[in-house]
Structure 1
Amino acid sequence: MTSGELDVLFLLMTHAGQVVSRQLMYQRLRGVEQDDIDRSVDLRVSRLRHKLREASGEADVIKTVRGVGYLFTVS
């Protein structure tokens, strides 16, 4: 995993069971306001999902909440 992916995972895990808005993710991870054109956070989440799925062989633990952000589900 890259450091960026680990940052995303840490942020989502510290808010497990809560929806983390894309705006908050941009502020915490990039230090800037959300830019609707910049998809870098979405790309990190996508790559992280793939790696977690590959490592565990289970369904995604990161869910998309359309129009809001992401949710790390606790099993």
Structure 2
Amino acid sequence: MDEIWGMENDINDRTVDSHIKKLRRKFEKSNDFEIVTVRGLGYKAKL
């Protein structure tokens, strides 16, 4: 996170997780879209 946002930013590591959780909940009934966790890398959209 520091490489992206810089040391002066107050972005918490859990902020991204929180947004991903909300997006997953929003799209959970959709069979056309899924957010997949890629261990050690981040997330990807599965269409």
Q: Does 1:43 align with 2:18?
A: yes
Judge conservation of contact 2:33–2:45 (CA < 8 Å) in 1.
Answer: no
| Larger proportion of helix | 1
Q: RMSD over aligned Cα, in angstroms?
A: 2.6
Runs of at least 4 residues off by over 6 Å: none
Q: Which residue of structure 1 lines up, in the alignment, with residue 38 of structure 2?
A: 65
The answer for unaligned runs of 5 or more in structure 1 is 1-22
SS of the counterpart of 1:67? Answer: coil
TM-score for the superposition, normalised by structure 2: 0.62
Deviations 1:15-74 (A, max 9, x none): xxxxxxxx5xx83xxxx14xxx621001100110011114x2x38611000111001112
> Greater RCO between the two (CA within 8 Å, min separation 6)?
1
Residue-pair matches, total: 41
| Larger proportion of strand | 2
